[in-house]
Structure 1
Amino acid sequence: MAGLFGSSSTASQANTLGDLSKDVALNNPPSDSISDLSFSPQADYLAVASWDNKVSIYQITANGGSEGKAQIAHEAPALSCAWSSDGTKVVGAGADKAARMIDLNSGAVQQVAAHTQPIRCARFFNVPASGAQMLVTGSWDKTVKYWDLRQSTAVASLDVQDRVYTLDTKGPLLVVGTADRYINIINLNEPTKFYKTMQSPLKWQTRVVSCFGDSSGFAVGSIEGRCAIQYVEEKDASSNFSFKCHRDPPQNNITNVYSVNAISFHPQHGTFSTAGSDGTFHFWDGVAKHRLKGYPSVGGTIPATAFNKDGNIFAYAVSYDWSKGYANNTPQYPNKVMMHPVTPEECKPRPSVKKR
């Protein structure tokens, strides 16, 4: 499966080369590295979590303009941000071991979660039975906790094998990736049980998990330039596969490989993006198993990406991701968020392929 997405044809490569010339920079971006991006599910508002201890919320206008609207102040780097389903609230979580939520209607900020170690990820979800909105947090304290936003203590907690590096949720599906390549699949109808636990299909450290739009499975990205498509149920296991990406062509039997930092699914088409430490992003059709578009280097590593609700804006951060350690984080390193206008031909599956 390794060469499946590759192509040696020059014509094919030219056909799949994307254009960055219309990409627009976010006004007044954070002053330090960006760790997470999240678009509102209701309107073109973007939340940005960053190492300057803030989650900043921007309104994106039709012509690609942007304006800062609100902020959540943390006491240490913000590592994660997410929107409530009605688009009225944003949660931030981070190295201060707390999750904080802003109500955009009132501007009020309150602490809504706490762990004993940094919180790596926070996501809203709707309780399957009642539809009530709750929060799930994953921490380096090796726990996943569930929060009713009206209470100051967690309503439930789940011990996992190691530090939580990444989690994502869609519908009743929650996927949690930890250190040591464990991946836990949880059915939110039974949130304190593992529906399944597995080792990552990839041989190296997990960087990101991202759920399919229909909750039938998820994608995994690793530090070693690979992505895996994984279905939850055994009956779909024949559709599981992994592929190489974010790596340089081999030279003298040496291949430079890069971390896959972010995977975002298109909200309409079920296609997805990968972005990495090589400073490139790509759009893929996972069902047809081919690359739709690959884009030139953006001039710095890409730590986070997000599609807006309509799938016609793709936001990507360009800032240092610490993949080469402290010494490579120079004052000259770019630190920005770019808006890429997405056309249907960039992200639509091939017509002959059934959609996920």
Structure 2
Amino acid sequence: MGVEAPNEFKLNNPPTDGVSAVKFSPVSPQFLLVSSWDCSVRLYDTNNNSMRIKYTHSAPVLDCCFYDTVHSYSGGLDKALKTYDFNTSTETIVGHHEQPIRCVEYCPDVNVIVTGSWDSTVKLWDPRAPCSAGSFSQPDKVYTLSLCGDKLVVGTAGRRVLVWDLRNMGYVQQRRESSLKYQTRCIRCFPNKQGYVLSSIEARVAVEYMDPSPEVQKKKYAFKCHRIKEDGVEKIFPVNAVAFHGSFNTFATGGSDGFVNIWDGFNKKRLCQFHRYPTSIASLSFSSDGTLLAIASSYMYEGGEKENVPEDAVYIRKVSDAETKPK
């Protein structure tokens, strides 16, 4: 089944089970981290389409991130936060949560690793030690989190959204409720730090602003996407992934319909839609220079166990300014 466009290719040696996250290196479009339900984290060289490194956890891995060019952090169902040194091929368990780790991100502004867990906490970790730098209670299971400079936006079960200041974690800066009626799937912050995009399981995306003042809050809005009409019936799909283009503040969404859309959130416009991928879009990541988009096409069991599910794949797509730049 050849769905690849001429401007994209599939990575060799893909994970053998569901892809949970794809993350480009913060400095180079050459390197991509991929975590998976096959208990592995893989480092790919996109220039040569080769897998450079693979290390494992004792259970499925739900998220990963780069700390710098030679270290990754990862966590998942084994509840352990692991760091791996690419140069020496050594791994260290930095610490644990009481329940699976759902999110792992690095904040360069404050130099901390942030993890969010189903144990309803966010933990900060000092990468220089590496060791724990504090645990902070959240109102419910953490489903997603995103960094906005030194601010941290956390999305939990129960449609709650919390804004924290990483320099002063003594209290929550803002408590919000999702403006969408259904479970939150993904939150990602605008590179210009003005707001964030929140997606739900019910084919909707909300564009929210950080500034709590009433006149700024008037600008927030939500829109429908990832819906397909078949035989006169509208099918509604979860929006699993959101990724921002670093220089244009435009963003991509990926849904369980197998489509990737690119949006201009400020002008409320869809810029383009790519061809349909073989199965659900599980994760998306733009390279730091905005030239590449990594697309994880991976069945997410929305429809339960199925026979003959398309195999898990990660596509690397060259994106043009025409597809990603506000019109």
- TM-score normalised according to structure 2 size: 0.94
Matching residue of 1:289: 268
**Given the superposition, is the C-alpha separation of residues 41 and 154 from structure 1 closer, same or farther in structure 2, using an over 3 Å criterion?**
same
Matching residue of 2:220: 240
- Of 169, 173, 196, 1:191 maps to 169
| Correspondence 1:274 to 2:260 | no
- Deviation of 1:188 after TM superposition, in Å, equals 1.4
| Structure 1: runs of 5+ lacking an equivalent | 1-18, 351-356
- Deviation of 1:286 after TM superposition, in Å, equals 0.6
- Deviation of 1:248 after TM superposition, in Å, equals 1.3
Matching residue of 1:104: 86
Alpha carbons 1:97, 1:114 under 8 Å: kept: yes
Matching residue of 2:17: 32
- Deviation of 1:151 after TM superposition, in Å, equals 4.6
C-alpha distance in 2, partners of 1:313/1:155? 34
Structure 1 counterpart SS, 2:246:
coil
- Of 332, 335, 340, 2:312 maps to 335
Give the 5 Å matches for 1:181-260: 181-235=159-213, 236-249=216-229, 252=232, 254-260=233-239
Instruction: Count matched residues.
Output: 321
- Deviation of 1:117 after TM superposition, in Å, equals 0.5
C-alpha distance in 2, partners of 1:284/1:21? 22
- Of 159, 162, 165, 2:137 maps to 159
Matching residue of 1:122: 104
**Given the superposition, is the C-alpha separation of residues 239 and 150 from structure 1 closer, same or farther in structure 2, using an over 3 Å criterion?**
same
Give the 5 Å matches for 1:22-171: 22-43=7-28, 44-61=30-47, 65-84=48-67, 86-128=68-110, 133-151=111-129, 154-171=132-149
| Correspondence 1:347 to 2:327 | no
C-alpha distance in 1, partners of 2:93/2:133? 15
Alignment deviations for residues 48-106 of structure 1 (CA, whole Å, 9 cap, x no partner): 00011011001111xxx41111123100000001111x322111110000111112222
- Deviation of 1:107 after TM superposition, in Å, equals 2.0
Structure 2 counterpart SS, 1:38:
strand
Structure 2 counterpart SS, 1:155:
strand
Alpha carbons 1:172, 1:215 under 8 Å: kept: no
Higher strand proportion: 2
C-alpha distance in 2, partners of 1:248/1:266? 26
| Correspondence 1:309 to 2:288 | yes
Look up the equivalent residue of 2:89 and give its one-letter code.
Answer: G
**Given the superposition, is the C-alpha separation of residues 332 and 255 from structure 1 closer, same or farther in structure 2, using an over 3 Å criterion?**
closer
Alignment deviations for residues 125-166 of structure 1 (CA, whole Å, 9 cap, x no partner): 1354xxxx2211100001001111345652211111111111
Look up the equivalent residue of 1:113 and give its one-letter code.
Answer: G
Alpha carbons 1:39, 1:45 under 8 Å: kept: yes
- Deviation of 1:171 after TM superposition, in Å, equals 1.2
Alpha carbons 1:264, 1:305 under 8 Å: kept: yes
Segment drifting more, 19-28 vs 115-124: 19-28
- Deviation of 1:234 after TM superposition, in Å, equals 2.4
C-alpha distance in 2, partners of 1:142/1:151? 25
- Deviation of 1:217 after TM superposition, in Å, equals 1.0
C-alpha distance in 2, partners of 1:193/1:45? 37
Alignment deviations for residues 238-283 of structure 1 (CA, whole Å, 9 cap, x no partner): 221110000113754x421000000000011110000010000000
Aligned-pair identity (%): 36
C-alpha distance in 1, partners of 2:10/2:315? 4
Alpha carbons 2:299, 2:309 under 8 Å: kept: no
Structure 2 counterpart SS, 1:346:
helix
Look up the equivalent residue of 1:39 and give its one-letter code.
Answer: F
Alpha carbons 2:200, 2:238 under 8 Å: kept: yes
- TM-score normalised according to structure 1 size: 0.87
Alpha carbons 2:94, 2:132 under 8 Å: kept: no
Alpha carbons 1:157, 1:192 under 8 Å: kept: no
Alpha carbons 2:198, 2:207 under 8 Å: kept: yes
Matching residue of 1:5: none
Alpha carbons 2:82, 2:92 under 8 Å: kept: yes
C-alpha distance in 2, partners of 1:247/1:226? 9
Q: Which runs of 4+ in 1 moved over 6 A?
A: none
- Deviation of 1:35 after TM superposition, in Å, equals 0.5
- Deviation of 1:200 after TM superposition, in Å, equals 0.5
C-alpha distance in 1, partners of 2:137/2:80? 18
